[in-house]
Structure formats: C-alpha cells, structure tokens
Structure 1
Amino acid sequence: MEYMDRGALSDVISKSYLSEDEMAAISRECLQGLDFLHSNHVIHQDLKSSNILLRTDGSVKLADFGLFAQLPPEQSRQSSMAGTSGWMAPEVVTGQPYGPKVDIWSLGIVGIEMMEREVPYWKETSGMPQLLIAIRGTPRLHQPNLFSPCLRDFQSICMQADEEQRWSAKELLQHPFVRFAEPVSSLVPLILSVKKKKEIRK
C-alpha cells in the first residue's frame, strides 16, 4: 500500500473538530473500501479510527488487516470473536454467528468518534465498553441536536442492533449523507490544519 503521510484518522479526531461534509467524505471512502472487501467475501473485523489512514491529498484508506476473515464462497457467517473492544458489533459481543455487517456497526462507532471525539461507553467501563453494548445495545449521542437529520439517519442505520436491519456497504453508498459528499480533495484543509497544530506543539 502507498505511504499515507498524514497518519490515522484517530489523530485528526484528537486534534480537530470535523464538519459534517468532512465526515461524509471520510465515510464514503470507508464504505467504498468495505464494499470492495465484502463483495470479495472479506470481513475487516477491526475497523476503527486508528485503522483509517489519510494522506495530504485527502486520500482515505482502510488499514491493518491482521484480524480479517476470508469467508469461503459457500459460507456467509463467521463465529470467532475478533475485533477491538468498543467497536465490536452486538452479534460479535454476544457470541452469535455474524457476517460482513459487523464492519458497518464499527463504521457507525467511527462516526460517533468523529461526532463526539470519543468511543461510546469507553469511560463508563474502564476500557470494556462491549459489556454495555451487550446490555444496552445501540449507544446514543450525547447532543444529537448538534447534527443534521441526514447524518443522524445515516448513523442510526449503521448502528442497528439487529444485523438484519443494518444496511450493507453497497446500500449505504446510496444514502444521501454520503451520496452527495464532496471529493476527497475537500479534506485537504482539515489535514493541513492538523499538520500545522502538530508543528506548533513541537
């Protein structure tokens, strides 16, 4: 993979507030990557902001396939428990067989990271938020009214606790939130501003 010189999305989230347009562009690029993986029977299984890499030109790439699962053509479900606490879908947490839509739940968690700059339940459970995901299901935004109905709808579809109700990556690419997203070049000002903040702190 080409060198992604601006590092991980998690670094951007920790140093800057993202606009909805920037969230949409990043989400679209991630969905395109997931659609490609899922159409080839691959589940990433560890999607999180630190595994989404950026480049100065605005390019967005999925990274770290250390936990990926390659499903045989005749198999549509996986049963081993894999992923990072906090981003795991309910079906993984509860030990149910699961399919590619676990990555969509994880993308929803990344969405909350971009919106609220933290992983849901992280502070409540000493780093074991999967316990509250199993008990409470879908995390709620702290201040939902700060965000547009379109973004909130996109998020709610990604984070359906019932896997059957969760859309696929291909379906989500048709959602208005990402369908009308700006090109990746629109991310350049954000990336450069984060780079400048890093240089100032040095």
Structure 2
Amino acid sequence: SIVSLGQPQSKYTAFEELGRGGFGAVYKALDTSSGQQVAIKIMSLEEGMSEELAANEILAMRDNRSPNIVTYLDSYLVDGELWLAMEFMDGGTLFDVLGAVYLEEGQMGTVCRECLQGLHFLHSRQVIHRDIKSNNVLVGMDGSVKLGDFGLCAQLSPERSKCSSSMGTPSWMALEVVRGEAYGPKVDIWSLGIMGLEMVEGEAPYEGETRLRVFELMERNGPPKLQHPRHHSALLRDFLRCCLQADEDRRWSAQELLQHPFVTSGHPASSLAALIISAKQVQEDWR
C-alpha cells in the first residue's frame, strides 16, 4: 500500500489553512508525537482528482529525497480524501517572496542554483516535474530553497523516454509542450527560465491571458525576452537565453546550467535568510 494505515486526525492537530487550489487545500498542522510543524495537503479523490495522479505525487516525493526537494513524511486515505504530510517550509513560496521584496541578481542566481540542484537530481532519476514556477518553489527562513508540488510530475522509463500530454501552467510551458510534440526533462529548464523572468519582471509573460491566447502568443513571438535587457547583466541575459532555447537540443540541461557563471557566482543558500525574513515582515505589515 502507498498510504499508511491509521487515523491522522489523532496524529496531527492545530490545523491552519495555508492555501487552496484545484486539487484541495494545504494546511499547517502540529505533529503531536514530535511537536514539529508539518504541511498537510488534503486532496478530494471524488472531485475528478485522478487516483493515478495522486499516487504519482506520493511516489515521486517518497522515492526522490534530496536537500532541494520538500521532504515527504507520510500519507493517509481518510473518507475519500488523500492526506499528504510533508515538511513545513516556514518562508512560504517564492511567489510570496517576489510579491514582497525585490531580488538582486546574486540572489536570483542562488535561487536558480538551488532549483537546478533539485532538477538535476530528478532528471538523473528520469523524473520530470512539469510545473516549475514560483508558486511551487518553497523557501525556509534559513534560506533553504526546495521544489514542491509534484502533482503533475511524470516518471520516464526505458519503454517511455518521452511524454506527450499537455501538462503544466500555460505561461511556464515549453514550446514543445504547447505544440503537442513529445518532450523530455528539458521542459523543466524552460519553466525555470520563465521563473527567472518572473523574478526580474515580477510576473511571467502573458500571465492572466487565457490558455489558448498564451499558446497563440508563444507561437507568434517565440521565446519570451526581458523587457529592458540593458538594465541587467550579460550573465543573467545569457543564463535566460540558455534556458529559453526554442530547440530542445540547444537548450542547456540542469547539469550544464549548474556550471553557468550566473549560477556559480551565487552565494550560499543561507545568504537568502535575511531576504526571506524581510519578505515575511512585509507580508505581516500588510495584514
């Protein structure tokens, strides 16, 4: 069995909703046995949520443990709902951080490096995340940066070396996905490039447009570009160019990008702590 037996209601208490999406909701809770805070994603299997995708998410997290991937703790089946317990990241999402503070290029390089370490690990194990964006990158008050939300991931195998289903969030989707072509792990690199644009511009290209309109604009305009390229360093521009190659073969891999000077010149992850703490402070002040 993928899930644990038993009643999680007795194990976890003090639920506080953190967010809600098409799948269900995410809560912060207290693990009564360890006294630690955890995050619990509760997904209703009745609301058209495919059991295969749910099982996929659990297995992807459980079987791929890495310092740059949110740690899986446990899962349960409760009255037609799937409970997925994982480590609680106290800094929130990168999306939250970007809404509160501006990142300098060195900090962007650090975030990209941490994400690339997670992607290199996943890709070496033939896993494609398929939904890399600031909303699915989680941060800790200690500066840690981890990939989360494996709800759309795919496991490749010797029999299945490419995917073809149109998965992801439109503004972050690689051109080959938009075109309905077979694709591999480098779709995640494209999405990381879009996330780079998000860190610089504050939002992804064509955000807010309908799915079809995004696809139309991407087909017409090709890889998105910085609005004011001269305001940014040659290193950042080149890093984004390497991520946002229309031709998958010319797009760099996670392993190659980890050697890119934009990424190697970044600081240790702990240097992000002050930024994440101040972003939290700004959010508190808004409340």
Q: Which has the higher contact order (CA 8 A, sep 6+)?
A: 1
Q: Secondary structure at the match of 2:92?
A: coil
Q: Which runs of 5+ in 2 are unaligned?
A: 1-70, 72-86
Matched, 1:79 2:164: yes
Deviation readout 1:90-127 (Å, 9 max, x if unpaired):
0000000000000000000000000000111225x346
- Post-superposition shift, 1:80? 1.1
- The one-letter amino acid of 1:133's match is M
Matched, 1:55 2:158: no
In the TM superposition, 1:150-165 aligns within 5 A as 150-165=235-250
- The one-letter amino acid of 1:156's match is R
Instruction: Identify the structure with the greater helix proportion.
Output: 1
Q: Residue 123 of structure 2 aligns with which residue?
A: 38
Q: Secondary structure at the match of 2:138?
A: strand
Q: Aligned residues, how many?
A: 201
Give the Cα separation in 2 of the matches to 1:148 and 1:112. 13
TM-score, normalised with respect to structure 1? 0.96
Matched, 1:194 2:279: yes
- The one-letter amino acid of 1:22's match is Q
Contact 1:112 1:118 in 2 (8 A): yes
Give the Cα separation in 1 of the matches to 2:95 and 2:278. 15
- The one-letter amino acid of 2:143's match is G
Matched, 1:24 2:109: yes
Give the Cα separation in 2 of the matches to 1:115 and 1:160. 18
Q: Residue 215 of structure 2 aligns with which residue?
A: 130
Give the Cα separation in 2 of the matches to 1:43 and 1:86. 18
Contact 1:35 1:169 in 2 (8 A): yes
Q: Residue 139 of structure 1 aligns with which residue?
A: 224
- Post-superposition shift, 1:74? 4.2
Q: Aligned Cα RMSD in Å?
A: 1.2
Q: Which runs of 5+ in 1 are unaligned?
A: none
- The one-letter amino acid of 2:177's match is V
Deviation readout 1:43-99 (Å, 9 max, x if unpaired):
000111000000000000000001100001343211111111100000000000000
Greater Cα shift, 86-95 or 65-74: 65-74
Q: Residue 13 of structure 1 aligns with which residue?
A: 98
Contact 1:6 1:191 in 2 (8 A): yes
Give the Cα separation in 2 of the matches to 1:126 and 1:66. 22
- Post-superposition shift, 1:39? 0.2
Contact 2:128 2:154 in 1 (8 A): yes
Give the Cα separation in 2 of the matches to 1:134 and 1:34. 26
Instruction: Identify the structure with the greater strand proportion.
Output: 2
Q: Secondary structure at the match of 1:46?
A: coil
- The one-letter amino acid of 1:100's match is P
Q: Residue 94 of structure 1 aligns with which residue?
A: 179
Contact 1:157 1:167 in 2 (8 A): yes
TM-score, normalised with respect to structure 2? 0.68
Give the Cα separation in 1 of the matches to 2:90 and 2:277. 11
Give the Cα separation in 1 of the matches to 2:122 and 2:279. 30
- The one-letter amino acid of 1:90's match is L
Matched, 1:185 2:254: no
- Post-superposition shift, 1:181? 1.1
